[in-house]
Each structure stands twice: as C-alpha cells, then as structure tokens.
Amino acid sequence: MNELRVALAQTNSTVGDLTGNAAKILHYMEKAKALGADLVAFPELALTGYPPEDLLLKPQFVAESKATLHKLVKATQGITAIIGFVDSDTDIYNAAAIASNGSLAGVYHKIYLPNYGVFDEDRYFKAGNECPVFTVGDSRIGVNICEDIWHALGPITLQKDAGAQVIININGSPYDSGKLSFRERFLATRARDNEIYVCYLNLIGGQDELVFDGASMIFDPQGTLIARGKQFEEDLIIADLDMRSLLRHRLHNPLRRKGRVAEPAIAARATTLEVSAPRPESRPPLSPKHVDPLGPDAEVYAALVLGTHDYVRKTGFDRVLIGLSGGIDSSLVAAVAADALGPESVVGIAMPSRYNAPESLADAQLLATNLGIEFHSIPIEDIFKASLGTLDQLFAGTEPNVAEENLQARIRGNILMALSNKFGWLVLTTGNKSEMAMGYATLYGDMAGGFAVIKDVPKTLVYQLSAYRNSIDGREAIPATVMEKPPTAELRPNQKDEDSLPPYPVLDPVLKAYVEEDRSFDEMLRMGFDETVVKQVISGVDRNEYKRRQAPPGVKITPRAFGRDRRFPIINGFKAF
C-alpha cells in the first residue's frame, strides 16, 4: 500500500446552518467512500460556515457545533475524514478534526490567524501550538489550515520533520481576481521546497461580501500541479498519491540532508498519531481530475453570479427586483441575476422621468426581452410633481441643484422598496465601484436595496464584463445601444457622467492607486496621473465614506473592496494633499 487515495470535498456551507452543513459533509463523505478514497477532507470551518463572525461569541453556538462534529465523527466508518470546525476547551480554536473509522484521532488548531483585510480571526480564536502528523495506513499526513501554509517556516516545516509526506491544507480563502495564480505559484514552491504532496482545499460559496472560489489543487513533491477542481462550484477532487515515487524523489534530491539555517518561526510541538481506518478492499480506477481555470472576465463574472445566487437564496428570497435605467450598470446586474437565479426569478422595473431619453426605456425593455425577465414600466412623473409641489414653499427662491436630482432617484428607490415590501422580492442595486468610490450615487435612491451586485466592479470592467456576457451565448443580451451610449444618470436635462467625473478610463486607474494601493498624492503624480484628477479622486473618495457606510453588501472581486476590507473613519481630518 504505497498509494493514498485523497478526496477533497470543495463544499458550499452556509454560515450558522449546522444541520445543513453537516448533511452536506455526510453526503460528500459517502461519495468519497463510494470512490474508494482513503481520506476525505472538508474546508476550513466547513461545519459552521466561514466566517461565522460574532456567532462565535455565543457559547450555545460553539457547543452545538461541537456536538454536531461528534455526530459526524461517528459517521466516518471505513474512511478517514478531516473536518473544519470550531473546537473549544477554555477558549475557542479554528480547528480541523481528524476522524477515522468512527472515532476522533486528533485535532489540529490553526496557528496563524489572519487579522487583516476582510479577516478578524484574532478577534475570536486562540492560536494552536501543536503540529500532529497522522499515520493513515503507510502514509503520514500533516494537516494545517489556510494561512498556516503561507509561512515558509510555519507548521509545514515541523510536519515535514515529523515525517509528513502529504500536507492537507484546508481553506476559507475569499476570491479576488488574480489570487488564483498567486496561490498556485506559492503552493508549488511549498511542495517542492518540502518534497511533499500539498493538497490545497478551498470552499466555495457566497457569504455577505465574500465569495469563495474553490479551485482546490493538488501538487506533487516536485511542485507539479496534478489535479485541480472547479471554480465557484462544488466539486470532489480525487487523486492517488504515490508514496513510493515520493521516496524515490527524496532519495534523488541533491538538496537532501543539507538541513537548514532558519528554525521554524513557531513554538509548536510535533506529534504523531495513528489513524485506524481500514483500507477499502478494492476500488474503482481513477483518472485524475484537472479543470482548466476560467479566463479573467469569465472568472469575475462567475464570482458575481455565485455571490448573487448565494446571497439571494441563503437569505431565503424567491425573486429579485432591479431598477432598469437602460444604462450598462443595471443591464449587467440584470444579466448576472438572470444567470444566477434564472430569468423567472428576476423582475425589471423601468421608472422613466421627464429627463429620460425615450431610448432609455426602449433599451431597458429590449434588455428584459433578451434576458427573458418580467418587465414593468412605472413612470415617476406624478410623484415627482407632487414632491416638488410639497417642497415648493421651503424651496422658494433656491436654484435647482442636487436636491431635485436626488429626489428622483429616491422616488425610484421608494417604488422598488414598496414592491419589495408588497411581494417579498429582494432589491438588487446597480452601482459600480467607480461610483461608490466617488459618491456618484444617491443614498436611499439608487443605493437602496439588499445586495449591491457590482459594487466592487470598476466601470471600465463593467463594460468588459458586459461584452463577455454578450459573447457567451452567441447572441446579444445587453443591447449594443446600451454598450455604446455615454453614461448618464438622466436626473437633469442633458446630464452626462463626464460633467461630474473624469472619463472612466482616466478615473479607474487613479481610483485603483488610491483605494486599493493606498498611494500618496506625490506617488500618484509620479505615476503620471493628472494632478486635477488625483485631487478630485482623493477628495471624492474621502468625502463619501458616509455613503458607503450605509451601502448594502456586495461581492468583493478586487484585492481591496469597500466594506469590511477597507475600514475608514467617517470623521477624518487627514489632508492627503
């Protein structure tokens, strides 16, 4: 027995739903057994969902989660399972249970707790300080969790020294564009540096602002990728790891026995534990699983679709409602929603005003037809007139300004919310990241809704994704006229976005430098950006934190999203120029 059949169950948990998550774990455990796997692994906190946030401060939640784990342990007859859960003694731990043949062989506690970006793990967990290695048949397995493997001198060094041949690294690693190739690069290096099999398992699914992309991977001890799972879909990645070839590889490695200068960075103890699951008598042959990664636009689009699907379904909504302006943002959101939920679950509402071009309504209608979604037009003129009349006395003697413009956006917000309240539909908002950054959106107006699908998508990427969407089913979903007309909010005669903002191809790179990279004023000038634009960006972004604080959540797709990922004070006297 020089072969270990490993199954990585890349599942979609729901935060807090212990019963549902346990059922899913059982389901995949049976599937792995049927495929003759020696070992099946589940993602980080698969049992509680990730991240459970302040649910972790409820002793009741922690106790029930642990009780559920013990039921799962009993179900591991004939297999070894690694299950992410919350362990507790006098404190709580982000943990992996190693269970086999109905009993618990051991527990690993995560050592490196991320506390940056969207992560708050120091807030909740105590760090572990043991690095057990488990003997499964003839194979020796080290288990660790997520950030643990990012550290070259972390648990992997101790586990390797204690004889591990295979590392199972379970993750709750949120998606952003570009992260996949980064992961692949450093995991390959870890495998090769330690002459070890690296099994990287990541969950999938949407949780509030986050979407997890899966794409689990297995690397051989030379750092070669030997299996990869789907992105944004549940999957079972299964491979046979050959321990004999591992030994051959190690014996032929000229770097062997040179030792190392650096000590492991952690004060942790390595132990070895026997695991008892019998090997299956016979098992089906296996062809290794290798899913090619999506292209860049397809990847972001899939992230939006899954994030939207899971937010809507996991919060229990049947249908969604979208205000369709005939512009590209709402068109893309409608396409994402139709792809995520099915066109029958999407209702588009146009709300024309005196300032809307007739083409806008026609474009909205055509889009709805193309997507096959329900469509209604509700003109706002009567309410707008009544509102102006009501405010007439107090507004007397003032010039029309943003007040009259926002009034229209808020009447639309009110109509959508009335339909939401009447029929129980969730409103999706349509603002993009460029607008959110600059505050070019109306609070309680177009910002009103439960989920902001493209709030982390810069406007230039909105165009790219729309073109991508139009390319996939062979016929235009988003009308060409929508793609081509200049962006406008249509809240006053002849208004264009470019009256208030730099052209998006100019704006977006500056926003990226300021928001995602925290570049200083001087640095941005040195990067060659126009000084006026840079100043406009800094002021716009800083001044509008209060609006973003009241925005609905939406899918994070960039390395730094607004929301929990970027925590700025509203009261902020810092002058960046």
Q: Which region among 178-186, 233-241, 466-474, 547-555 touches a copy of itself (by CB under 8 A)?
A: 547-555
Are 176 and 207 contacting, i.e. CB atoms less than 8 angstroms apart? no
Stretch 187-206 residues interacting with a copy of itself (CB under 8 A): 206
Polymer length of the chain: 577
Q: What Rg, from alpha-carbon coordinates, does the chain have? A: 27
Marked catalytic residue, from 44, 121, 184, 405: 44
Instruction: Estimate to the nearest angstrom the gap between the alpha carbon of 54 and the chain centroid.
Output: 19
What is the rounded distance in angstroms from the CA atom of residue 367 to the CA atom of residue 12? 32
Instruction: Tell me how far, at minimum, the Cβ of 100 lies from a copy of itself, in Å.
Output: 28
Is residue 571 within the footprint of a copy of itself (CB under 8 A)?
yes
| Largest distance between two CA atoms of the chain | 89
340 near a copy of itself, rule: CB under 8 A:
no
Contact criterion met (CB below 8 Å) for 365 and 373: no
Sheet holding 39-41, edge to edge: 103-109, 92-100, 80-88, 39-41, 3-10, 235-242
If binding is defined by CB under 8 A, does position 15 make contact with a copy of itself? yes
Residue 538 CB, nearest distance to a copy of itself (Å)?
A: 11
State the DSSP H helix or E strand holding residue 479, giving kind and residue range, or none if neither.
Answer: none
The closest of 321, 328, 320 to 489, measured between CA atoms, is 328
397 binds a copy of itself (CB under 8 A): no
Q: Give residues 358-377 in contact with a copy of itself (rule: CB under 8 A).
A: 376
Considering only residues 56 through 75, tell me which ones interact with a copy of itself, judged by CB under 8 A: 57-61
Among 181, 422, 484, 494, indicate the residue that binds a copy of itself (CB under 8 A): 422
Question: Does residue 23 touch a copy of itself according to CB under 8 A?
Answer: no
Asked about 110 being catalytic, the answer comes back as yes
Give the count of residues interacting with a copy of itself (CB under 8 A): 87
Give the binding range for a copy of itself (CB under 8 A) out of 25-33, 253-261, 490-498, 561-569: 561-569
Q: Site residues for a copy of itself, window 227-286 (CB under 8 A)? A: none
Q: Are 335 and 308 within 8 A, CB to CB? A: no
**Residue 440 in the binding site for a copy of itself (CB under 8 A):** no
Q: Is 472 in the site for a copy of itself (CB under 8 A)?
A: no
Question: What is d(CA 350, CA 368) in angstroms, rounded to the nearest whole number?
Answer: 10
- Residue of 33, 146, 199, 209 marked catalytic: 146
Select 402 or 472, whichever has its Cβ closest to a copy of itself: 402
421 binds a copy of itself (CB under 8 A): yes
Asked if 299 contacts 468 with a C-beta cutoff of 8 angstroms, the reply is no
Residue 199 bears catalytic tag? no
**Nearer to a copy of itself among residue 77 and residue 390 (C-beta):** 390
Tell me which of 38, 220, 310, 329 binds a copy of itself, using CB under 8 A. 310
Which member of 34, 403, 467, 480 binds a copy of itself (CB under 8 A)?
403
Gap between the terminal Cα atoms of the chain: 67
Nearer to a copy of itself, 1 or 418 (CB): 418
- Minimum Å distance from CB 299 to a copy of itself? 22
Give the count of beta carbons closer than 10 Å to the beta carbon of residue 328.
24
Assess 391 for contact with a copy of itself (CB under 8 A): yes
Task: Give the whole-angstrom CA distance, residue 496 versus residue 216.
Answer: 45
Q: Which long-range contacts (CB under 8 A, 24 or more apart) does 281-285 make?
A: 282/36, 283/5, 283/35, 283/36, 284/35, 284/36
Q: What x-and-dash track marks residues 517-546 binding a copy of itself by CB under 8 A?
A: -x-xxxx----------------------x
Would you tell me the crossing angle of helices 296-314 and 459-472 to the nearest 10 degrees? 90
The catalytic position among 110, 160, 289, 547 is 110
Between residue 446 and residue 465, which ones bind a copy of itself under the rule CB under 8 A? 448, 450
CB closer to a copy of itself, 260 vs 422: 422
Helix or strand holding residue 333 (H, E): helix 328-341
- 3-class state of residue 480 by DSSP: helix
Q: How many CA atoms lie within 13 A of 286 on its CB side?
A: 23
Task: Report, in Å, the least distance between residue 17 CB and a copy of itself.
Answer: 3
Stretch that binds a copy of itself, among 137-145, 193-201, 381-389, 489-497 (CB under 8 A): 381-389
3-state secondary structure of 263: coil
Task: By CB under 8 A, tell whether 551 contacts a copy of itself.
Answer: yes
User: If you ran DSSP here, which 8-state letter would residue 495 be given?
Assistant: -
- Minimum distance of a copy of itself from residue 124's CB (angstroms): 9
Of residues 111 through 130, those in contact with a copy of itself by CB under 8 A are 115-116, 120, 122-123
Q: Which stretch binds a copy of itself (CB under 8 A): 25-33, 170-178, 294-302, 306-314?
A: 306-314
CA distance linking residue 554 with residue 167, whole number of Å: 34
Q: Please tell me whether residue 55 binds a copy of itself under the rule CB under 8 A.
A: yes
Q: For residues 455 and 432, is the Cβ–Cβ distance under 8 A?
A: yes
Residue 232 · residue 303 · CB < 8 Å? yes
Q: Is residue 549 close enough to count as binding a copy of itself by CB under 8 A?
A: yes
Kindly report whether the peptide bond that precedes residue 278 is cis, defined as omega within 30 degrees of 0.
Answer: no
Interface residue with a copy of itself among 142, 348, 552, 554 (CB under 8 A) is: 552
Angle between helices 328-341 and 296-314 (to 10 degrees): 70
Annotated catalytic residue 146: yes
Q: Does 387 bind a copy of itself (CB under 8 A)?
A: yes
Q: Which residues are catalytic?
A: 44, 110, 146
